[in-house]
Chains A and B, each alone.
Chain A
Amino acid sequence: MSEHAEAYLDARQQAARQGQWRRLPLIHRQWLRWAIALGVVVYLILALASVEVNWARVAEGTSRGLRFIGAFAQPDFMSRSGDIVDGLIESLTMTLTSTVIGVMLAIPVGLGAARNIAPLPVYVVCRSIIAVSRTFQEIIIAILFVVMFGFGPLAGMLTLAFATIGFMAKLLAEDIEDLDWRQVEAVRATGASWWQTMNHAIQPQVMPRLIGLSMYRLDINFRESSVIGIVGAGGIGATLNTSLSRYEYDTSAAILLIIIAIVLLCEYSSSHVRRWTQ
């Protein structure tokens, strides 16, 4: 302990004896504290000043934006209904298949990526798979798969399945690392094999969360399917993209409303399922 820290502690003890006490500051030196705060404010001002705003363009765009928002008041479900239904069915198929495939592949990767049950080499490999899957945003992967497999829902499905692996495996692995180890020890002490330990001690503990996360991922995948459609991976996103580029904002509004409704439905049902599995 330095001379300074000692004096500081002494001063705090003196103050506390008088009933004066404040929480220890995160940054000990007062001048440094102020300097950092000031630096952040100055940088923020400079950064904002450097953003160029073309006010003429904003004025022009505002009316277009308002027209887009106004379309929500009178969405047109009918004139492109065939395209919308086709897109929706494609999206839902993509969502469900990619979630199922992704979760099935994520489970072994997740088991391997949990440090407390996997040996080091397996852990390293599985963690790298997760890292690769999580590094790239869905759109980038979608572009790659579209280049590889052509336009359409196959590319979309592969993209979403790939992204699901990273997401589910990471969260599953973290759940396994946090579980109650005594239950695992107790099952191992009966002479259970590795697979039996997985089934009797680990699965019961992580199952509710695994189901909850799968439901969550299902609705993420649905939302993503409408985004990756824009880069050519099929589904409702493709329909949405077409309507936007034709300036048919009323159709776009109808599609967006349907997406919102389906996401809300997913949300509602997933919270039900989670409560039921607890």
Chain B
Amino acid sequence: MLTLSGVTKRYPTGDRALTDIELTLPKGQVMALIGPSGAGKSTLIRCVNRLVEPTQGSIRLDDVELTRLSGSGLRKARRSMGMIFQEYALVDRLTVMENVLSGRLGYVGFWRSFLRRYPQDAVAEAFRLLERVGLPHAIDKRADALSGGQRQRVGIARALLQSPKLLLVDEPTASLDPKTSRQIMRLIRELCAERELATIINIHDVALAQQFADRIVGLRAGQIVFDGRPDELTSDILTTIYGEEDWDTSPESVDEPESDPTPAQYERRDITGAMASGVAP
């Protein structure tokens, strides 16, 4: 359903964020995108809905070439792609209902949205979604009065009100506690199954990714270095994605160093260090 081919992003500073990405996502699949910070995960999903402009390549959603859209065509395409953000990105000073209804902005005209006169079916659907995510009582609260987990639920309801075909999820659990993280991931997973949504989830937590995704893609320095099922993800592969580290999760024993270096040794090291950095050829 979603096809990326040859997608490259070079920032004006010259940094290459993505190099030649090839990726196909079928309907109803939940794909987790993992990789170290700065690997280009956020850039990748922002290229799909064009919050970031890709430099080269083609991105197709069903039969629409997304990279060539502009103006109203782009807005129409965006409404079929729901996005869920790290740190929720709700508009703090609007109420919960206004935030959820803003998912409908792509469908209504300016004056309707300005006067907050949304169509009846949109309001009914928004309330149904709030009930589904467990927040019907918060309808008139301001978004900044909610807790982190609650805000993320509002964010999810907003994304789903767009009636999307595709969900783009950027670090949904980065600022949540472990229990809330699981609840949120489970909710996203269930909603995707209910609505057969294709989903890309950027996530730092490898264990959560393995538990809740159908497929895992590993990104390193803007290139895909792994693409497979969650159970295929081994320590070796984690090393290719993230670099050398002990991936064993059992508690580590910390050994005392055998002998402390003497002050004299420190001193010599300092001076040579300073000289090495000072006398650059």
Which residue numbers of A lie inside 8 Å of B, CB to CB?
Answer: 1-3, 5-6, 9-10, 13, 17, 180, 182-183, 185-193, 195-196, 199-201, 204-205, 207-208
User: Which residues of B sit under 8 angstroms from A2, Cβ to Cβ?
Assistant: 278
- A207 contacts B93, C-beta separation under 8 Å: yes
- B93 contacts A187, C-beta separation under 8 Å: no
Q: Is B271 positioned at the interface, with any CB of A under 8 Å from its CB?
A: yes
Q: How far is the CA of A3 from the CA of B81 in the complex (A)?
A: 59
- The closest CB in chain B to the CB of A2 belongs to B278
| B2 to A: closest C-beta gap in Å | 16
8 Å CB contact of A191 from B76, B91, B114: B76
User: Which residues of A sit under 8 angstroms from B62, Cβ to Cβ?
Assistant: none
8 Å CB contact of B102 from A3, A185, A190: A190
Q: How far is the CA of A17 from the CA of B264 in the complex (A)?
A: 12
Among A2, A5, A199, A200, max chain B CB count under 10 A is at A200
Q: How far is the CA of A207 from the CA of B106 in the complex (A)?
A: 23
| A15 to B: closest C-beta gap in Å | 13
Q: Is B162 positioned at the interface, with any CB of A under 8 Å from its CB?
A: yes
User: Which residues of A sit under 8 angstroms from B98, Cβ to Cβ?
Assistant: 200
Q: Is B75 positioned at the interface, with any CB of A under 8 Å from its CB?
A: yes
Number of A-B residue pairs with CB-CB distance less than 8 Å in the complex they form: 99
- A204 contacts B91, C-beta separation under 8 Å: yes
- B51 contacts A188, C-beta separation under 8 Å: yes
| B165 to A: closest C-beta gap in Å | 13
User: Which residues of B sit under 8 angstroms from A192, Cβ to Cβ?
Assistant: 75, 102, 105-106, 113
User: Which residues of A sit under 8 angstroms from B77, Cβ to Cβ?
Assistant: 191
- B91 contacts A200, C-beta separation under 8 Å: yes
Across the A-B interface, the 5 shortest Cβ-Cβ residue pairs:
A191-B106, A191-B79, A186-B89, A192-B105, A191-B78
Q: How far is the CA of A186 from the CA of B102 in the complex (A)?
A: 9
8 Å CB contact of A182 from B87, B110, B270: B87
Q: How far is the CA of A239 from the CA of B183 in the complex (A)?
A: 71
A-B contacts besides A185-B89, A190-B105, A193-B110, 19 pairs, CB < 8 Å: A1-B277, A6-B275, A13-B270, A17-B263, A183-B89, A186-B90, A189-B51, A189-B81, A190-B82, A191-B77, A192-B102, A199-B110, A199-B113, A199-B114, A200-B91, A200-B98, A200-B102, A204-B93, A205-B92
Binary contact track B15-52/A, C-beta < 8 Å → 1, others 0 = 00000000000000000000000000000000001010
Known: A6-B274, A191-B106, A196-B113. A205 touches B93 (CB 8 A): yes
Interface residues on B, range: 35 or more
Q: Is B219 positioned at the interface, with any CB of A under 8 Å from its CB?
A: no
User: Which residues of A sit under 8 angstroms from B278, Cβ to Cβ?
Assistant: 1-3, 5-6
Q: How far is the CA of A207 from the CA of B82 in the complex (A)?
A: 27
Binary contact track B78-102/A, C-beta < 8 Å → 1, others 0 = 1101110101011111100010001
| B72 to A: closest C-beta gap in Å | 8
Q: Is B215 positioned at the interface, with any CB of A under 8 Å from its CB?
A: no
- The closest CB in chain A to the CB of B280 belongs to A1
User: Which residues of B sit under 8 angstroms from A188, Cβ to Cβ?
Assistant: 51, 78
- The closest CB in chain A to the CB of B162 belongs to A190
Q: How far is the CA of A208 from the CA of B93 in the complex (A)?
A: 10
User: Which residues of B sit under 8 angstroms from A191, Cβ to Cβ?
Assistant: 75-79, 105-107, 162
User: Which residues of B sit under 8 angstroms from A205, Cβ to Cβ?
Assistant: 91-93
| A149 to B: closest C-beta gap in Å | 37
8 Å CB contact of A10 from B114, B263, B274: B274
Q: Is B172 positioned at the interface, with any CB of A under 8 Å from its CB?
A: no
- B51 contacts A187, C-beta separation under 8 Å: no
User: Which residues of B sit under 8 angstroms from A17, Cβ to Cβ?
Assistant: 263
